[in-house]
Structure 1
Amino acid sequence: MADWLSTIPEAAQDYLAGKRLDEVECIISDLPGIARGKAVPASKFARQDYFHLPDSIFYQTITGDWGEAAGAEGFIERDMILRPDMDTCTAAPWTGDYTLQVIHDAYDRKGKPIPYAPRNVLKRVVELYRAKGWEPVVAPEMEFFLVARNIDPAKSIEPMMGRSGRPAAARQAYSMTAVDEFGPVIDDIYDFAEAQGFEIDGITQEGGAGQLEINLRHGDPVKLADEVFYFKRLIREAALRHDCFATFMAKPIADEPGSAMHIHHSVIDIATGQNLFSGPQGGETDAFFHFIAGLQNHLPSAIAVQAPYVNSYRRYVKDHAAPINLEWGRDNRTTGIRVPLSDPASRRVENRIAGMDCNPYLGIAASLACGYLGLIEEKRPDRQFKGDAYEGEGDIPSVMGDALDLFEDAPKLHEVLGADFARVYSIVKRAEYTEFLQVISPWEREHLLLNV
């Protein structure tokens, strides 16, 4: 890796211009989307082509417990080989010294990709598209809350204190005044993003108290998932500078909307460079409807990946800015599948199911997998829904256990995402869900202790 600094992306080179690089963070996403890895001196990084981490990082639940997912050889914590993808090299501008981050890919000792590493899962799905002559394109939207510092799990989450000295107020969607309340945090988000070479398409106030949305430009699914992975850390670090927390929890505050990661999809015909969803005269193609049908038919089985925690299901509340079913409609934000206004070249399909708490690699992979199955199966979707979809029937699982049942009984989805991934994910999530069921909540103590 001699002279590796001359090969890194331009934004990283600009960040280091005239500076001395001190450290490199070698990172990889685990199942929840937490960055795992090692920080090494820059001089050591220049001499290493790879490093090792145990495969057990993919068997860990969000609480730090373990799922029995190691397979026939048992829990021996076999070392993986992690190799850097230098295209992902970017600044860590919040650190006290000059530090770079590099995302790594995980391989076994034979050089094969670890099948349950989230970035490898997404790469697998993208390659299935490319094998058919298709190039998938996505654009994620990231919703999150800025909240007051909270170090007591028994205490309710509260909105952060705004610049005016008043708590952030709800029901001010798209308000520029509300955005201004978070000005210092947003300024740091912009500064960090610029240092990292990320292009923000816009920041808006959402409907919740202290809730913001950041839109990213459309592009390659792996690159965009990398950016969301990086952005979660970037936004948290910006918030901490201003005495507040950034949370990507799906439903952090009762009676407020939840936070989604809406995913816009289009597919390019590699041979022609044309949008597969639009015909020569600009009309909607069969592929457009097949993709929608794939989402309708397979998203129920994928919701356990896009809504990965017990809290995720608190987001799907009628009339609360999240879908309750998988109806589809044009320019209709009450449906789970939305077709936004666009010209034919930009025609796309928006999946509004995924929560912001999902792993971006896995959330995008699952959504693409459903669309891919639709393109292969060539089925038609249900009739377009017109009107308020909240008046329709709910068909989204209401608890994690039901979603896992659907995921475990979905061989077609497993084939696209990878059977080993499906096995490990199911075991880890079952362990997590079982652990949650052992917890007695304040609601139970309040209403059942003396009344039943």
Structure 2
Amino acid sequence: MADWKDQLPEAARTYIDGQRLDEVECIISDLPGIARGKAVPASKFARQDYFHLPDSIFYQTITGDWGEAAGDDGFIERDMILKPDFSTASAAPWTGDWTLQVIHDAYDRDGEPIPFSPRNVLKRVVQLYHDKGWKPIVAPEMEFFLVAPNVDPAQSIKPMMGRSGRPAAARQAYSMTAVDEFGPVIDDIYDFAEHQGFEIDGITQEGGAGQLEINLRHGDPVKLADEVFYFKRLIREAALRHNCFATFMAKPIEDEPGSAMHIHHSIIETETGQNIFSGPQGGETDAFYNFIAGLQNHLPAGLAVMAPYVNSYRRYVKDHAAPINLEWARDNRTTGIRVPLSGPEARRVENRIAGMDCNPYLGIALSLACGYLGLTQQERPRRQFYGDAYEGEGDIPQVMGNALDLFDEATALHKVLGPDFARVYGIVKRAEYEEFLQVISPWEREHLLMNV
């Protein structure tokens, strides 16, 4: 790997140009989307073609416990072979020295991709599209809260203190004054993103107190998932510089809107470069309707991937800026599936179901998998919805346990995402859910202790 720096993206080469590179962080996403890996001296990284981590990192719950997902061989923590994808090399500008991050892909000893590694799951789904002569394009939107430091889980989460010395206020959507309150944090987000070579399409104030949204430019699903994976760390580091926390919890504050990761989809025909959602005269095609139908028909069974924690389901509350059903409509933000205003060449379908707490690789993979099933099975959607969809009935699971039951039975989705991934994911998430059920909440103590 003597010439490995020649393989780096331009932004990474610019960042280290004229500097002594100290360290390389070799990282991979686990199931929750946490960066796992090793930090190694740059000189050592230059001499290694791969490194090892145990496959058990994919069996771990968000609390650090373990799901019994190791398979027939038992929990022997077999080593995986992790190889760098140099196209993902990116600065870590918040560190005290000159450091790069490089995302790695996981393989077994036979050179086969580890099927329950989230990045491999997304690559598998994208390849299914390529095999059909299609190129999927996505554009994620990231919502998150900047909150006051919270080191005591027993205390409720509060909005951060703004630049004016007043706490961030709710119901200030699209307010530039509200954005200015977070100016120093946003400045660091922009600076970090520039160092990392990421293009932000815009930052806006959302409806929650201290809630912001970052839109990314559309592009390749794996590349965009990499960016969201990196962005979560980038934003957290920027917030810590200014005595606040950035949180991607789906519902961190009571009576405030939740945080979503809306995903815009379009599909390009590889041979012609044409958007398959638009016909020669600019009209909507069968493929457009098939994709919508795939989301309507299969998202309930996949919700456990897009809403991966018990807190995720607190977001799906009527009239709180989150969908409660899978109706579809044009230019209507109350529906779970929205068709934004656009010309025929940019016609796209927006999935508004996913929470920002989902693993970006898995959330995008699941959304594409649902659309793929709709396309390949030529499914037909329900009639377009007109009016306020919050007035309708909900048609998505309301608790994690029900969502896991549906996911465990979703054999069609398992085939697209990979049966081994589905097995491991279901076991780990079930272990997480059962651990949560052992916790007695303050609400139960307050209302049940002396009253029942």
TM over 0.5: yes
CA–CA distance in 2 between the matches of 1:109 and 1:286? 43
Shift of 1:5: 1.2
Q: How does 1:146-161 map to 2 (within 5 A)?
A: 146-161=146-161
Whether 1:182 and 2:179 are equivalent positions in the alignment is no
Structure 1 ranges of 4+ moved more than 2 A? none
User: 1:204-225: CA deviations, max 9, x gaps?
Assistant: 0000000000000000000000
What is the DSSP-based 3-state SS (H/G/I as helix, E as strand, rest coil) of the residue aligned with 2:215?
A: strand
What is the DSSP-based 3-state SS (H/G/I as helix, E as strand, rest coil) of the residue aligned with 2:135?
A: strand
Q: Which residue of 1 aligns with 2:335?
A: 335
Q: Which residue of 1 aligns with 2:132?
A: 132
CA–CA distance in 2 between the matches of 1:405 and 1:325? 18
CA–CA distance in 1 between the matches of 2:20 and 2:281? 56
Whether 1:274 and 2:274 are equivalent positions in the alignment is yes
What is the DSSP-based 3-state SS (H/G/I as helix, E as strand, rest coil) of the residue aligned with 2:226?
A: helix
Q: Which residue of 2 aligns with 1:199?
A: 199
CA–CA distance in 2 between the matches of 1:418 and 1:409? 14
What is the DSSP-based 3-state SS (H/G/I as helix, E as strand, rest coil) of the residue aligned with 2:39?
A: strand
Q: CA RMSD in A?
A: 0.3
CA–CA distance in 2 between the matches of 1:24 and 1:379? 47
What is the DSSP-based 3-state SS (H/G/I as helix, E as strand, rest coil) of the residue aligned with 2:20?
A: coil
Q: Give the gaps of 5 or more residues in structure 2.
A: none
Q: Which residue of 1 aligns with 2:433?
A: 433
User: 1:128-154: CA deviations, max 9, x gaps?
Assistant: 000000000000000000000000000
Whether 1:2 and 2:29 are equivalent positions in the alignment is no
Q: Which residue of 2 aligns with 1:292?
A: 292
Whether 1:324 and 2:324 are equivalent positions in the alignment is yes
What is the DSSP-based 3-state SS (H/G/I as helix, E as strand, rest coil) of the residue aligned with 2:313?
A: helix
Q: Which residue of 2 aligns with 1:26?
A: 26
Q: How does 1:291-440 map to 2 (within 5 A)?
A: 291-440=291-440
CA–CA distance in 2 between the matches of 1:279 and 1:395? 31
User: 1:256-276: CA deviations, max 9, x gaps?
Assistant: 000000000000000110000
What is the DSSP-based 3-state SS (H/G/I as helix, E as strand, rest coil) of the residue aligned with 1:192?
A: helix
What is the DSSP-based 3-state SS (H/G/I as helix, E as strand, rest coil) of the residue aligned with 1:279?
A: coil
Q: How does 1:74-89 map to 2 (within 5 A)?
A: 74-89=74-89
Whether 1:211 and 2:199 are equivalent positions in the alignment is no
What is the DSSP-based 3-state SS (H/G/I as helix, E as strand, rest coil) of the residue aligned with 1:27?
A: strand
What is the DSSP-based 3-state SS (H/G/I as helix, E as strand, rest coil) of the residue aligned with 2:144?
A: strand
* The 10-residue stretch of structure 1 (138-147 or 391-400) with the greater mean CA deviation from structure 2: 391-400
User: 1:413-446: CA deviations, max 9, x gaps?
Assistant: 0000000000000000000000000000000000
CA–CA distance in 2 between the matches of 1:17 and 1:64? 39
CA–CA distance in 1 between the matches of 2:93 and 2:307? 31
User: 1:106-131: CA deviations, max 9, x gaps?
Assistant: 00000000000000000000000000
Shift of 1:6: 2.0
Q: Which residue of 2 aligns with 1:109?
A: 109
Q: Which residue of 1 aligns with 2:95?
A: 95
Q: Give the gaps of 5 or more residues in structure 1.
A: none
CA–CA distance in 1 between the matches of 2:5 and 2:286? 47
CA–CA distance in 1 between the matches of 2:114 and 2:132? 23
What is the DSSP-based 3-state SS (H/G/I as helix, E as strand, rest coil) of the residue aligned with 1:326?
A: coil
User: 1:213-271: CA deviations, max 9, x gaps?
Assistant: 00000000000000000000000000000000000000000000000000000000001
Q: Aligned pair count?
A: 452
Whether 1:448 and 2:416 are equivalent positions in the alignment is no
CA–CA distance in 1 between the matches of 2:439 and 2:341? 45
| TM-score, normalised with respect to structure 1 | 1.00
Q: How does 1:67-78 map to 2 (within 5 A)?
A: 67-78=67-78
Shift of 1:380: 1.1
CA–CA distance in 2 between the matches of 1:303 and 1:4? 40
